[in-house]
Structure 1
Amino acid sequence: MNVTHERPDTFSLESAGRNYETISALSPTTLSIKQGERIAIVGPSGSGKTTLLSLFNSTIQASSGKITVLGNVLEETSGKNLKKIRSKIATIPQNHALVESFRVWQNIITGQIGERGFLGNLIDLIFPPKSKILKIHSILERLGIEEKLFEKTSNLSGGQKQRVALGRALYQKPQAILADEPVSSVDPARAENLVQLLNQISKEENITLVMSLHNLELAKAHFPRLIGLRNGKINFDSDPEDLNESKFKELYTLSEREILNDGEC
């Protein structure tokens, strides 16, 4: 008898939403993302993409509903337990969030701060164990920039900095990666390469990948599941092959009122 095991949820929302005073950034939403899934969140500015990612990594709290991350209900989790959950979720922000004066290896080693704490991380920044330098070199080799190990981060190109940010996420040994517009500052060729690389690594390591993207063609080409957001609501949640062009056009066609109120959330 064949026994199939359903993959556990990495993230799940049950009627979870987020308001900023009288403004609804994300309407009450219900969805689940399984371990190892690769998902692109698409939609215009102000549609709620960043808000959704921020709810997943618990940098903001839901105004309503329930959020579960790695089997833990966030509303019932705090202190060390919340810190432990966060250490398993790597984030790649749009602006890299790298320390320009650091060497590349120093920026990557900060990926362990959730596990090692501030003091442990500070010690490793000053007196790095050889084993950790070798591990970082191995990650950089996988990303194709191993020669930049001791390079000052400020000397790198935008594409190289984005790979360092990815390296920092991988050093964390995450169960999930949340990437917020990670290729917005690089040219189309490098953007394609980085998205492809992230997908490849996520598949090989069974890492849940959730990425917000403005580039719809990249999302359609590389992700088996697309979530379209508009005005803080899910417009679609589907395999890209099941979506027609009119659905995508509807997502990005703003009304006059929406244009006047446009702003990223």
Structure 2
Amino acid sequence: MTNASLSYGQAQVLQHIHLTIHDGEKVALLGPSGAGKSSLLNLLYQQRADRCALCPQDNGLVDILSAYHNIFMGGLDRHSTPASLWNLVRPLKRARTAIEAIATQLGLGTELWKSVDRLSGGQRQRVALGRALFRKKDIFLGDEPVSALDPIQAETLMQHVLSQHATAVVCLHSPVLALALFDRVVVMKAGSIELDQPTRQLTLADLNSNYITDVPADRTALVLPEKSSVVSSPEACVTGKIQR
């Protein structure tokens, strides 16, 4: 993105963003609530929607459907309408096999056939991650995708999701997780990028002393590496791209 900005009415939420995401990078977006992380993630998704699996902050699940059917929704573009409708009544064999494997990897095996309104917050996040995995795209975009999980579970699942995607950009509140699993950290504040550096050049002390972020209560649960132009108008227009 080159000099990209975003406004909703009179409120400017992103200001003069310059950002390039290279294929193969794993990038963590940090910053306080309201910093513009979610807005930036949505702009990135609009740039490459055909290549992206998006895991939004609100999960975007259909409460009356089972975890299985919510995960299946990640692959709707690979199935015809008749096949998708039939899957509601009798799960397709190939899809069922693939989704059961994903559910097992995410620790959802026993919850797969429950409606998601019966699941906990952490389980719902696992379903949303499963749907993203079933998208089978090479770019993962996540907005606080493991915020309802404890630090160890968050690290384990995030590591698995990252291993299944060539490129990833993930909004986080945890600098610990960012330093442990990502190649690069981008810190946002008040709609602007305050910091953009490789994680090997950063320490937890750097982030905590200079940037306001939320840190998990159990910092020792994760293993850290060694040392390391949208014009202001009601209609948002975006300039920029994810570099391929």
- DSSP-derived class of the 1:18 partner: strand
> In structure 1, the residue corresponding to 2:2 is in which secondary structure?
strand
Aligned residues: 212
1:150-165 correspondence to structure 2 within 5 Å: 150-165=113-128
Distance in 2 separating the partners of 1:209 and 1:132: 25
Q: Distance in 1 between matches of 2:78 and 2:29?
A: 28
**After the TM superposition, which residues 203-214 of structure 1 pair with which residues of structure 2 at under 5 Å, given as runs?**
206=166, 208-214=167-173
Normalised by the length of structure 2, the TM-score is 0.77
Q: Which residue of 1 aligns with 2:202?
A: 243
Report which of the two has the higher share of strand.
1
Q: How does 1:41-60 map to 2 (within 5 A)?
A: 41-58=29-46
The aligned runs of 1:104-253 (5 Å cut-off) are 104-116=67-79, 121-202=84-165, 206=166, 208-243=167-202, 245-246=205-206, 248-252=208-212
Aligned partner of 2:61 in structure 1 is: 98
Kept after mapping to 1: 8 A contact 2:133/2:161: no
| CA distance in structure 1 between the aligned counterparts of 2:161 and 2:20, rounded to whole angstroms | 21
**One-letter code of the match for 1:235?**
E
Matched-pair contact (CA < 8 Å) for 2:133–2:164: no
Q: Which position in structure 2 is the counterpart of 1:26? A: 14
Shift in alpha-carbon separation, 1:44–1:119, aligned structure 2, 3 A: farther
TM-score by length of 1: 0.71
Q: How does 1:250-265 map to 2 (within 5 A)?
A: 250-252=210-212
Q: Summarize deviations over 1:112-163 as a string: whole Å, max 9, x none.
A: 2344476653343234321111121122222232333323323333222222
SS in 2 for 1:33: coil
- Cα RMSD (Å): 2.3
Tell me what 2:237 maps to: none
Distance 1:87 1:195 in 2: 22
Residue pair 1:87, 1:115 contacting (<8 A) in 2 also: no
Extract unaligned runs of 5+ from structure 1.
1-12, 59-67, 70-85, 254-265
- Structure 1 Cα separation of the partners of residues 13 and 209 of structure 2: 22
Q: Which amino acid in structure 2 is aligned with residue 48 of structure 1?
A: G
Residue in structure 1 matched with residue 224 of structure 2 by the alignment:
none
2:52 and 2:105 map into 1 onto residues whose CA distance is 20
Q: Distance in 2 between matches of 1:230 and 1:215?
A: 15
**RCO comparison, higher one (Cα < 8 Å, 6+):** 2
- Percent identity over paired residues: 35
**Greater Cα offset, 121-130 or 94-103:** 121-130
User: Aligned equivalents of 1:151 and 1:236: distance in 2?
Assistant: 42
